Structures are given as C-alpha cells and as structure tokens.
C-alpha cells in the first residue's frame, strides 16, 4: 500500500510543480495566470482527497476491535445515504431511484456502513452517463440482507471486476482523472463491509452498466 501511495502521489505532485513553473513564467511575461491557478487548485484538491482516503482506509484496517455496533433501521440509513448522494448526482442530471421494501433494524456500525454506501453511490455517479439513473434495491434473503446499487454506465471488463476493490485500481486512468477518482472508494467500502463479516461484489448488467452488491449478515436482526 505504501508503494502504491507513493506512486499515486507522484502524479499530482508533478503536475502541481509544472503548473507552478508555468505560473512563474507567465507572471514574468505578463500573461494570465487564471488557467494555471485553477490547475493548482485542482491538483491540491486531488492530493487532499487522496490523503483523506488513505487515512480512512488505514483507520478501517485497524477498526475490527473498535467498531461500535447498534441496531440501525436499514430503510432510514439508505434514505440518508441516497439524499447525500443526490446532491452530487443532480449536477449530472442523474436520478437515484430507491426500491427499499425492507424495513428492519440490523446491528451495524452506522458510520462505517454509511461510508461504504456513500463510496459505492459516488462510484456509480462518477461512471454513469448524464441524464441516466441509478437504482438502489434492498432484498432480505435467507440469513443475509442484500443492498444492490446499479448504474447505467459502460460497465467493466469481466476479468477486471474482482480488481475494483483493490486500493488504487482504476479501469480507466484517464476517465478517473477527469472525474476526480483516486481508486480508493471501493477499497474503503470493502474494508467497511469486511468489518461486518459481510461481502461486496460487482457484476455487469445485461442491459449495460454495473451493479455493486453489499451482503450483510442478518444475525440478531429485528423486524419492525
């Protein structure tokens, strides 16, 4: 992970150094600095996001003994996550549809599961086409609760699906550079789900796009 972090930090740092050099050169020639200042702002935001995510991932790797479990209503939790994500989705004219029929309490660490849901939803938003939709579906089956987030993006090659949850893995480096992706969101989501002894997986939809499914155990669940 440290090797990956070092490699990933190098790119925005290099672009930031280049932008600062261009600012210095443009200032000497009396040219506009706005374009280069915007680039600096963008790269600093990227660095901040990456460092924040790395710290979050590191904390989760050491949270197994510190997670605080309490009975949380699944429907209310998902409504909160969807409401937060909709603020980002609206910029791309993306609608998030919720198909939540299950209304039960489940013992979870609320902040960790919210983090997982937020990262999965943000990933779906970033890789969906404008004016498309994302669907969140909840299903209780056997001893598990399944939460599926389906987008209408381009999907992922089948042989790359398992790699989506690896830190810093990106199917398209160029596209993630445009959307501001750091390749850590789904890795953070996986760590949060692992803490709950659950599972997270990805599969391509027959109609196009990708579905990320979270499976949580229903031990000590209480119907409401």
Give yes or no: 7 in active site. yes
pLDDT at 137: 95
* Percentage, residues of the chain above pLDDT 70: 80
Rounded to an integer, what distance in angstroms lies between the CA atom of residue 75 and that of residue 101? 8
Mean pLDDT within 7-20:
75
At 11 the pLDDT is: 67
Per-residue pLDDT, averaged over 131-150, amounts to 93
Edge-to-edge, what's the strand order for the sheet holding 95-100? 95-100, 133-141, 144-150, 210-217, 199-204
Residue ranges of alpha helices (H) inside the chain are 2-29, 34-61, 74-89, 110-126, 173-179, 185-195
Alpha carbon distance 71, 218 (integer Å)? 11
Contact assessment for residue 189 and residue 119, using Cβ atoms and an 8 Å cutoff: yes
193 three-class SS = helix
Asked if residue 192 has pLDDT above 50, the reply is yes
3-class state of residue 161 by DSSP: helix
Does pTM surpass 0.75? Answer: no
DSSP state of 70: E
Contact of 97 with 136, CB cutoff 8 Å? yes
| % the chain with pLDDT above 90 | 30
Q: How far apart are CA 9 and CA 22, in angstroms?
A: 20
pLDDT band at 139 (very low <50, low <70, confident <90, very high): very high
Pairwise pLDDT comparison (172 vs 198), residue with the higher score? 198
Q: What is the pLDDT of residues 60-108, one digit of tens each?
A: 666 555 678 899 999 999 999 999 888 888 878 899 999 888 888 899 9
Q: What pLDDT score does 187 carry?
A: 86
**In this structure, what token pair is assigned to residue 82?**
């969807």
Which one from 7, 127, 196, 206 is the annotated catalytic residue? 7
What pLDDT does 58 receive?
67
Paired strand residues for 147: 138, 214
Residue with structure tokens 């280049």?
Answer: 18
Q: What CA–CA distance (Å, rounded) separates 120 from 73?
A: 19
Alpha-carbon gap, residue 78 to 136, rounded angstroms:
9
What is the average per-residue pLDDT within 149-170? 86
């Amino acid at each position: 992970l440290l090797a990956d972090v070092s490699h990933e930090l190098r790119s925005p740092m290099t672009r930031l150094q280049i932008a600062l050099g261009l600012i210095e050169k443009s200032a000497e020639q009396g040219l506009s600095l706005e374009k280069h200042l915007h680039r600096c702002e963008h790269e600093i935001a990227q660095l901040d996001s990456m460092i924040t995510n790395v710290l979050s991932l590191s904390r989760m790797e050491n949270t197994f003994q510190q997670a605080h479990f309490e009975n949380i209503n699944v429907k209310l939790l998902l409504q909160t996550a969807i409401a937060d994500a909709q603020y980002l989705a609206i910029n791309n004219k993306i609608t998030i549809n919720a198909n939540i029929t299950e209304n039960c309490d489940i013992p979870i660490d609320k902040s960790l599961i919210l983090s997982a849901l937020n990262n999965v939803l943000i990933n779906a938003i970033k890789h969906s086409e404008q004016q498309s939709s994302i669907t969140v579906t909840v299903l209780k089956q056997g001893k598990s609760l399944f939460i599926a987030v389906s987008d209408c993006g381009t999907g992922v090659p089948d042989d790359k699906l398992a790699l989506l949850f690896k830190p810093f893995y990106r199917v398209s480096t160029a596209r993630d550079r445009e959307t501001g992706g750091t390749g850590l969101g789904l890795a953070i989501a996986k760590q949060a789900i692992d803490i709950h002894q659950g599972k997270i997986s990805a599969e391509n939809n027959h109609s196009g796009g990708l579905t990320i499914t979270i499976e949580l155990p229903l031990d000590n669940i209480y119907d409401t």
